Chain A
Amino acid sequence: MAKVLMKGNEAIGAAAIEAGCRYFFGYPITPQSELPEYMARELPKVGGVFLQAESEIAAINMVYGAAGAGARVMTSSSSPGISLKQEGISYIAGAELPCLIVNIMRGGPGLGSILPSQTDYFQATRGGGNGDYRLVVLAPSNVQELVDLVIEGFDIADQYRNPVMILGDGMIGQMMEPVELRKPKQRELPPKDWATDGTKDKRKPNIINSLYLAAEELEAHNQRLQEKYKKIMENEVKVESYNIEDADVVIAAYGTISRIAKTAISQLEKEGYKVGLIRPITLWPYPYDEFEKINDKCKGILTVEMNTGQMVDDVKIAVKGKFPVYFHGRTGGMVPTPDEIIDKVKKIYGGEI
């Protein structure tokens, strides 16, 4: 297929339909509303259902129902709307149902602003809902990768019976870029023999539930979940890294910010600096092991985010105190510039911070 030009939010919709998603339940919120708009227009053409729910809470519970019946289903929102969905997300994780949840992040806390941010890293990776659960969190840095991860995300969700979240900043949703729809590597997907799609008098009814009355049963359920999460940690880590074997400073950044970091790195290289990059593509499971490959002479790790310091905690866990960890962040919709990053790297080089 030849490349076409698509806005991130539209591209998510096109990729989801390509992946076989036929159900979308959501509620509009800037800066992701092009996505429900796209689904409202396109899903009926392929025999699917688009439904604008009365609220985010209703939408996520419709996803719970559709996923329980075995459908490929998606919802999307932006930061405050994702906060509203947290109860449902916890139920879906507890009941082990596959679905795709898209968060195109805007400024916070509260209503914040409509401008881009990365302030929901904690919420996405540490669980905004209750209980010991995990979401697979995918963080694309361009629209092509966004499309690829949406398509693969549905497969990951089905393979592990687990909700998958696409975490993009507002820029990813709003940016136009050339894309093509392409299939990911084939995965062995288990049959959905747990789905509540009718017994046809041939089996006992399936029950979708996250309530356990007996302590032993809930503990056993949690242990099963943890074993599943361990498998995901072993199999599903995605990371891009650059020159970490040789770099004097390594930048850790994800999403749009990693691209600004790359621009800064190529400028710094022209001036003779050796700077590497670790770009987590999965934020959970986090690519902790990648940081082990950083050379011993590295002067420090600079984490750059569009928040006041969230992923930087995972970077500290990853380096285990071996290197100093520095942070540069902007908030409120202010996007860090390559020059700011260059300045910070030079200060680390010069021992000024």
Chain B
Amino acid sequence: MILEDKRIRIIVGHYGSGKSEFSINYAVKLGQKKDKVVLVDLDIVNLYFRSREKEEELKKLGVKLIGSSIKGLGADLPAVSAEIYGPIQDESFDLVIDVGGDPVGARVLGMYSQYFTKGNYDMFFVLNANRPETQTVEKAMEYLKKIENASRLKVTGIVNNTHLLKSTTYKDVLKGQTLAEELSHQLNIPIKYVSALEHVAKDLPANLTGQIFPIKLYLREEWMV
């Protein structure tokens, strides 16, 4: 349950794994249950398809978005906002941090590491078994370890978000689940969520490890596949 997760939820993974979509969906669900929900877009890796594009839409859904200190979608500057320190320190906030892809994106987390202590945060590793760089346990483990090293934090849960965008079927998710289970077993990190498009989630067996987490796509336009 998302209410049982720690107050600070950090979402990491390889780029293309679906971190931003998972983060937005998670924050929206949280916004339905809590009053002070903040989604922090810490992505300094991607240029397009970032959470900050949805600031207005999220506001209507009860989620405050903090993006770059430099406004404008045409900026690819590694500028994060000082506003982030507020909800990190003020314990009345619930926080979802959408981190940029790969170890290079996770490095930004290092500057906040003094505020994150063992037990006060969750860090979820979003896994997509359809991305060439995280298709095997060895490769996924390497990414996870590199992200932990760059961020100076520990992954506390795995999110199986295996997808092929709008052409995802339950078979993709189950393929990813096998990988997630093996990764979970080898690293002793639990699978927290199995995330899939709403119509795909309906086809999933109920006995999977991890909570089934149906999502909508917020960042894909109608004409995109």
Contacts and interface: CB of A to CB of B under 8 A. Distances in A.
A7 B224 contact: no
Contact of B15 (A7, A114, A142): A7
B23 to A, nearest CB: 16
Interface string B38-63: 00000000111100000000000000
Contacts of B49: 174-176
Given A31-B47, A333-B74, A178 B167 contact: yes
B222 A114 contact: no
B183 to A, nearest CB: 18
Given A30-B76, A177-B165, A7 B47 contact: no
Given A3-B130, A6-B132, A174-B47, A113 B74 contact: yes
Contact of A177 (B46, B132, B222, B225): B225
Interface string A248-264: 00000000000110110
Instruction: Give the interface residue-count category, chain B.
Output: 20 to 34
Nearest to A107: B74
Contacts of A3: 130, 164
A4 B135 CA distance: 9
Interface in B39-97: 46-49, 73-76
Nearest to A176: B16
Contact of B222 (A31, A113, A178, A263): A263
A334 to B, nearest CB: 10
A263 to B, nearest CB: 4
Interface in A176-201: 176-178
A333 B222 contact: no
Contacts of B224: 175, 259
Given A171-B48, A177-B165, A178-B164, A142 B225 contact: yes
Interface residues of A, number: 27
Specify the main secondary structure of chain A where it touches its partner: mixed
A174 B50 CA distance: 11
A168 interface: no
Given A7-B16, A115-B73, A115-B74, A31 B48 contact: yes
A4 B48 contact: no
A33 B28 CA distance: 32
B9 interface: no
B48 A5 contact: no
B128 interface: yes
A338 interface: yes
A140 interface: no
B223 A30 contact: no
A108 interface: no
Contacts of B163: 5
B168 to A, nearest CB: 9
Contact of B165 (A5, A14, A170, A259): A5
Contact of A178 (B47, B74, B225): B225
B222 A5 contact: no
Contacts of B76: 30-31, 114
B132 A170 contact: no
A176 B164 CA distance: 9
Interface string A96-115: 00000000000100000111
Contact of B74 (A4, A114, A262): A114
16 contacts: A4-B132, A5-B130, A5-B164, A6-B131, A30-B76, A114-B76, A170-B48, A174-B46, A174-B49, A175-B224, A176-B16, A177-B225, A178-B130, A178-B165, A259-B223, A333-B74
